[in-house]
Amino acid sequence: MTGRFGQRLMAGLVVLLVTSGCAEEIVAPTASQAGEKLRVHVTKLLEAVGSNDVKIVDAGGRNISCGNNMAKRTFLASANNSAPELGPDGLNAILAAALKGIAEYQVVNDGKSEHIRMYRKEDRTTLILQSPSDGKYQVWGETDCLSLS
In a domain, 13, yes or no: no
In a domain, 16, yes or no: no
- Digit-coded pLDDT (tens) for 103-117: 999 999 865 678 899
Residue span of the structural domain in which 140 resides:
31-147
* pLDDT at residue 114 in the model: 80
* pLDDT at residue 25 in the model: 61
* pLDDT at residue 26 in the model: 64
In a domain, 15, yes or no: no
| Mean pLDDT, residues 38-43 taken together | 96
In a domain, 37, yes or no: yes
DSSP string, the chain: --HHHHHHHHHHHHHHHHHHHHTTPPPPPPHHHHHHHHHHHHHHHHHHTT-EEEEEEE---S-EEEETTEEE-EEEEEEE-S-TT--HHHHHHHHHHHHTTT---EE-S-S-SSSEEEEETTTTEEEEE---BTTEEEEEEEEPSEE--
In a domain, 7, yes or no: no
Give the total number of structural domains in the chain: 1
In a domain, 2, yes or no: no
